[in-house]
Amino acid sequence: MEDNMESGWIYSERATSTYDLVEQMFYLYVRVVKAKDLPPNPVTSNVDPYVEVKVGNYKGKTRHFEKKFNPEWQQVFAFSKEKIQFSVIEVFVRDKDMVARDDYIGRVEFDMHVVLTRVPRDSLVAP
């Protein structure tokens, strides 16, 4: 196993064969699990939540739920290390609005330099 702590990425080396034509690639996996006790929209008294994960110019969106204050998404997003040029992961929770612009519920930000890293075979989210 090689440990590259400067970049914050850990990977393992394995024996290669003549049939191994795939180059090793590195990914940042982001798992969106759930939200609890989301506030209702003051107009509709409901919330139709979804999550948007942004890493620089790249983003992923979960499915949205209708009228759910405690949603559980259990969705995983993979961002290629080669395309990541920013050091911040932003996670937004939004309320889907079918008529106007989606409402902002909350946001959390992670510095990629302090994000835990794992060898893919030990990871629950890596294939």
pLDDT band at residue 39, thresholds of 50, 70 and 90?
Answer: very high
What is the reported pLDDT for 122? Answer: 55
pLDDT band at residue 127, thresholds of 50, 70 and 90?
Answer: very low
Query: Domain 2-122 falls in which CATH fold?
Result: Immunoglobulin-like (2.60.40)
What pLDDT, in 10s, does the model give residues 2-20?
A: 444 444 555 555 555 554 5
Annotated domain spans of the chain: 2-122
What is the reported pLDDT for 23? Answer: 64
Mean pLDDT along residues 94-106: 88
pLDDT band at residue 37, thresholds of 50, 70 and 90?
Answer: very high
What pLDDT, in 10s, does the model give residues 47-92?
A: 999 999 998 888 999 999 999 999 999 999 988 877 777 788 999 9
How many other CB atoms are found less than 10 A from the CB of residue 51?
24
3-state SS track over 96-126: CCCCCCCEEEEEEEEEHHHCCCCCHHHCCCC
3-state SS track over the chain: CEEECCCCEEECCCCCCCCCCCCCCCEEEEEEEECCCCCCCCCCCCCCEEEEEEECCEEEECCCCCCCCCCEEEEEEEEEHHHCCCCEEEEEEEECCCCCCCEEEEEEEEEHHHCCCCCHHHCCCCC
What is the reported pLDDT for 4? Answer: 45
What is the reported pLDDT for 1? Answer: 43
